Amino acid sequence: MQRIHFHEVVTRDGFQNEATFVPTDTKVVLIDALSRCGYAKIEVTSFTSAKAIPMLKDAEEVMGRIQRQPDVEYTVLVPNVRGAERALECRANEFNVVMSVSETHNLTNLRMTRAQSFASLRDVIAMAQQHVAINVSLSTSFGCPMEGVVPQDEVLRWADQFAALGVRGLTICDTTGMANPAQVARMARALKQRFPTLQLTLHFHNTRGMGLANVLTAVQEGIDRFDGSLGGLGGCPYAPGASGNICSEDAIHMLSEMGYDTGIDLPRLLDVARRMPAIVGHEVSGQLAKAGLCTDLHPAPSM
């Protein structure tokens, strides 16, 4: 059974898109429950400014209160050197630094040119990588909602620049759900060939319904790490009403049914996933929590 590693991003990427603040107690209880499900990594929070993302203003408190499990890496998003200093004090296992491959998206989302973002992240990496593993997430790697096509060579060019800095891992992100399986297969092959020693993760969104087909294709091409968000939380401002990140439990269930070893205790994860509508105050897009496992049989009605 081939092992596939899952990273849970709901408390960072998922909650960041929610309108109503999720209480710190709820976040801590949720992360502690997720820590017992078998994830390889949990992206706990972001060390950004409280003004920019009020949802994650409790980053220090959450990091201080969660009960860490030895087999789980606790990763955090770090936008700049100030964030890196805060995150180091909180003993994160990994820093996730982010920029967009699309210039327009980077300007819109981070208010910097890509060159400015790279310079800033290079400073973070130089300051932090003797203390902590560094992962680089490249947003809009499969398309930009404003620029349209993002050439694969441009993704690889930015990946090269970070690889040269000695980072541990790369996450290639389909930020707004534009990737199709043929494109994913080409990207996965190029990444595996070019970065054989880096930890490679794919981050898909289900905005146009292709998320799990993209996961399947990437697995077929030898990728073994994926981000997912419980319940499929984490929308996109360009697609109101559409799905967000791929739903962790749906993706894990698919691979598990196919015979892959995801390391996840699926019934336990499903128990946690079923709390999500109450936590965020609305229905979520994940299917498995509504449908149940394939092995949850129904009684035949009496005739």
The binding site for its own copies (CB under 8 A) comprises 104, 107-108, 111, 143, 145-148, 177-178, 180-183, 206-210, 212-213, 215-217, 236, 238-243, 247, 250-251, 253-254, 257-259, 283, 286-288, 290-292, 294-295, 297-301, 303
In the complex, least distance from residue 258 CB atom to its own copies, rounded to whole angstroms: 4
Q: What is the DSSP code (8-state) at residue 48?
A: S
d(C-alpha 228, C-alpha 226), whole Å: 6
In the complex, least distance from residue 291 CB atom to its own copies, rounded to whole angstroms: 4
Question: Which of 169, 160, 232, 136 has the alpha carbon at shortest distance from 5?
Answer: 169
Instruction: Considering the complex, state which of residue 152 and residue 287 has its C-beta at the smaller distance from its own copies.
Output: 287
d(C-alpha 51, C-alpha 41), whole Å: 27
In the complex, least distance from residue 279 CB atom to its own copies, rounded to whole angstroms: 17
Instruction: Considering the complex, state which of residue 169 and residue 235 has its C-beta at the smaller distance from its own copies.
Output: 235
d(C-alpha 96, C-alpha 169), whole Å: 9
Question: Could you say which of 37, 144, 173, 236 is catalytic?
Answer: 236
d(C-alpha 110, C-alpha 78), whole Å: 13
In the complex, least distance from residue 113 CB atom to its own copies, rounded to whole angstroms: 11
In the complex, least distance from residue 112 CB atom to its own copies, rounded to whole angstroms: 11
d(C-alpha 101, C-alpha 158), whole Å: 7
List, in order, residues 6 or more apart from 266 with CB less than 8 Å away: 249, 252, 253, 256, 293
In the complex, least distance from residue 103 CB atom to its own copies, rounded to whole angstroms: 10
Instruction: Considering the complex, state which of residue 196 and residue 241 has its C-beta at the smaller distance from its own copies.
Output: 241
Instruction: Considering the complex, state which of residue 119 and residue 258 has its C-beta at the smaller distance from its own copies.
Output: 258
Asked if 236 is an active-site residue, the reply is yes
Instruction: Considering the complex, state which of residue 169 and residue 231 has its C-beta at the smaller distance from its own copies.
Output: 231
70 within 8 A of 34, measured Cβ to Cβ: no
d(C-alpha 38, C-alpha 16), whole Å: 23
131's tokens: 């203390």
Question: Which of 99, 100, 89 has the alpha carbon at shortest distance from 128?
Answer: 89
Instruction: Considering the complex, state which of residue 126 and residue 291 has its C-beta at the smaller distance from its own copies.
Output: 291
d(C-alpha 176, C-alpha 280), whole Å: 21
Residue 32: how many other CB atoms lie within 10 Å? 14
For 123, the 3-state DSSP assignment is helix
Catalytic (active-site) positions? 236
